[in-house]
Amino acid sequence: MKLTRLQAILGWIFVFMFTLSANGLEYSKLDPRLKMLEQNPEMIRLYKTHQKGLQKSNFDQNINILLKTNADIEYLEQLGVKVYTVIGDIATANVPVSSLGYLADDPMIDYLEAPKKMNLHTDIAIPEIGALSVYQNYGVSGEGVIIGIIDTGIDWRHDDFRNDDGTTRIKYLLDFSFPGDTNGDEILDGPDQFGGTLYTEQEINNALFGSGIVNSDDVVGHGTHVAGVAAGNGRASGNGLPSGQYVGVAPEADLIIVKATRVQGSQSFYGDDYVNALKFIDDMASSLAQPYVVNMSLGSNDGAHDGTSLSEQAIDELVGSDIPGKVVVVSAGNDGENDIHASGTFTNSNNSYEVSFQIDEYDENSGNYDDYVLFETWYDGTSNVSVSIETPDGTGYGPVSRGTEYSRNTSDGAVYIDNASGGKNPLNQDYQLIIQVFDFESAKPPTAGEWKIILTSTSGRFDLWLSTSTMSASLTSHVDPSMLIANPATAFNSIAVGSYVTKNRWTDLDGKTISPVPLPTLYSASAF
Amino acid sequence: MKKTVFSYLLLLTMFAASLISGCRDPEAEKKIDGNLRAQLVQYKQRKDLDKNIVILFKVNEDLSELHHEMLQKNSVNINANIGPIYTATVPAKNVYNLAKMRFITYIQSKSKLNAHQPDSTRIKDKD
């Protein structure tokens, strides 16, 4: 006789109720999944199928759980509980499956919960890039290596950047934003290297254990995110995640952090500051006699995009194929879908390009020189380009011939053009053309609408970038989606990192499903 | 006679032109990045030439004490160097003096960089 599904379920409920009444355990303190496990320990394999991260511990008969308890750590340890983290009366811990019953029975423990399965960004990325296989096959996970992060700072209290004993993994934290440039003289006013404020490993540990202060944080979160991807050890268990489940690429590396923003909360950096930050990390790693990998997830569209600017050359001085133990990684950028680059090749028959750009309606800033759009153009050292600019109402200014400068305050905003007035650029032997439209007077900001830049020559190639703008602006003709890797990823010796789509819909931490339109194609290149 | 008068006139014109252009030295001009030049123009317009400006500069030899003295005379405050690339602050009015120094081969302004975001963040922002 076959049992119906309903009969089977009723049967299981009967068995369950019988078991409950038979041993008198406090099952109300166990969440249903743990209850199931306590009664059927052989189901541990099923329970653990989601635990595919970089596990180092032996979990054969142990599981990660969350506990609600007011008991102290020593008390819990006597019960066989290995505590990872305590926040208020919630602890994350690792326990033998066999202990679930008596833990539930213990009067000091209010509730035991199985961590919910959640997917984070690194769940696919880590195996996808082969980090898992490197870790498993070669046993390398960053131990003895410095990961340097030049970014918006770090949440130094975060468990992912702490060792098992709670001490910090951060060797040095240098903060350029505190106190920052207090008097506007471009010089940072802190007491330590490059005018920043420096915190050592010892000082951070003192702060972590309540006997010191580290006056630095990451209110933006970008630097913490980047550091987590690069080197998080997964020790944190926020949002119901089991400790040790999701980790960064080098979970055992040491960290040197430079908060390179000059202003708290800013996401902007300057070329000189990152050079200073690189120098700092290089010096500190040398003093520790450790190899390093520096990550910079930042960039700009200034420069010729050919690796010749001084800030790019600084990277090339520091690292390269003939310099062992030093690597600089730079993100390729975010401009793959932005209309900020135009290009063309002049010939006798095609000797003029009208490059249009659109300034959208905007709310002007109140001062002078604070509403502007700036274009940087580079053209061949063999060309002789002249340039004019046309306002939205068709009024033209120029032409400005090679080797000269031009400036005019117009009712549509001030126009400044420097057509290689210094001559050929000695770094790459090309000509550099700067075009800027700005508010010389606050009453005359750049007019919204379609402008034109008219370039004339009979030979050579030009590349024009909309490099900086305080308002929403974009190119509308001769747009070229190539050459959009940002500076300094264009340095010859940096490793420029792009990405591709490994996930095209997901649930965020607020429970909201993100499903972009149009849906990105899996394994297609991201928009860098 | 006519030739001499013409020569004098030419010299006078060149002298006047050099005064108007602020005695600019073409070799020095060449060493200044276009963005920095544009920045200097704005500093001049705003009468801010006494204010500090951040620069990166490249040298073609190891800096001696004499070089450091020359830089100090121009109130150059060096922050760091990686090989021949230096980061520094200098009053805007002294940038041309630096460009005239033979051991300096190029001067660039600081570029502004922005944090790059992962796709997921940008897509959420759009959302």
- Residues A286 and B30: their CA atoms lie apart, in Å, by 37
**Same-domain status, A10 and A109:** yes
- Residues A513 and A474: their CA atoms lie apart, in Å, by 31
- Residues A418 and A44: their CA atoms lie apart, in Å, by 71
CATH number at residue A46: 3.30.70
- Residues A12 and A271: their CA atoms lie apart, in Å, by 67
pLDDT at A67: 82
Q: Report the residue from A121, A432, A514 with minimal CB separation from B127.
A: A514
Residue pair A234/A54 in contact by the 8 Å Cβ criterion: yes
Q: With 0-12 CB in 10 A as exposed, 13-18 as middle and 19+ as buried, what is B17?
A: exposed
pTM score over 0.80:
no
Q: Which residue of B has its CA nearest to A414?
A: B42
B74/A contact by beta carbon, under 8 A: no
Locate B121 and state its tokens.
Answer: 């963040």
**Same-domain status, A51 and A166:** no
pLDDT at A8: 47
Residue A462 one-letter amino acid: F
Closest alpha carbon to A465 in A347, A372, A335? A335
Which one of B75, B82, B121 makes the best mutation probe of the A interface by having the most chain A beta carbons within 10 Å? B82
Residue A44 sits in which domain range? Answer: 5-113
| B9 phi, psi to nearest 5 deg | -60, -40
- The residue written with tokens 């990277």 in the block is A315
A381/B contact by beta carbon, under 8 A: no
Sign of CA dihedral A91, A92, A96, A100: positive
SS3 percent helix, strand, coil of chain B, rounded to 5, is: 50, 25, 25
Q: Is residue A303 part of a domain?
A: no
Q: Which residue of A has its CA nearest to B80?
A: A276
Walk along chain B (127 residues) and give the pLDDT tens digit of each residue.
Answer: 555 665 555 555 544 544 444 457 888 999 999 999 999 999 999 999 999 999 999 999 999 999 999 999 999 999 999 999 999 999 999 999 999 999 999 999 999 999 987 766 655 444 4
Angular region, A388: left φ>0, alpha ψ -120 to 50, beta rest? beta
**Same-domain status, A133 and A106:** no
Taking only the tens place, the pLDDT of each residue in A433-462 is 999 999 999 999 999 999 999 999 999 999
Determine whether the interchain pair A298/B113 forms a contact, defined as Cβ–Cβ distance below 8 Å.
Answer: yes
Pairing of strands A449-456, A513-514: unpaired
CATH number at residue A270: 3.40.50.200
- Residues A171 and A161: their CA atoms lie apart, in Å, by 11
Q: How many domains does chain A fold into? A: 4
Q: Which residue numbers in chain A have pLDDT < 50?
A: 1-3, 6, 8-23, 46, 48-59, 117-121
Q: Is residue A140 part of a domain?
A: yes
Helix (H) or strand (E) holding A76: helix A73-78
A420/B contact by beta carbon, under 8 A: yes
Which one of B48, B114, B125 makes the best mutation probe of the A interface by having the most chain A beta carbons within 10 Å? B114
Locate A390 and state its tokens.
Answer: 């046309």
Q: Is residue A496 part of a domain?
A: no
pLDDT at A63: 78
- Residues A208 and A185: their CA atoms lie apart, in Å, by 34
pLDDT at B37: 95
pLDDT at B127: 41
pLDDT at A378: 97
Does the interface ipTM go beyond 0.90? no
Taking only the tens place, the pLDDT of each residue in B26-59 is 889 999 999 999 999 999 999 999 999 999 999 9
Residue pair A295/B118 in contact by the 8 Å Cβ criterion: no
What is the percent of chain B with per-residue pLDDT over 90, rounded to a whole number?
Answer: 67
Q: Is residue A492 part of a domain?
A: no
Residues of A in contact with B25 (CB under 8 A): none
- Residues A355 and B16: their CA atoms lie apart, in Å, by 38
Specify which residues A200 forms β-bridges with: A172
Q: Report the residue from B80, B89, B123 with minimal CB separation from A514.
A: B123
Q: Is residue A309 part of a domain?
A: no
Q: Report the residue from B35, B113, B124 with minimal CB separation from A270.
A: B113
- CATH class assigned to B25-111: alpha beta
Q: Is residue A327 part of a domain?
A: no
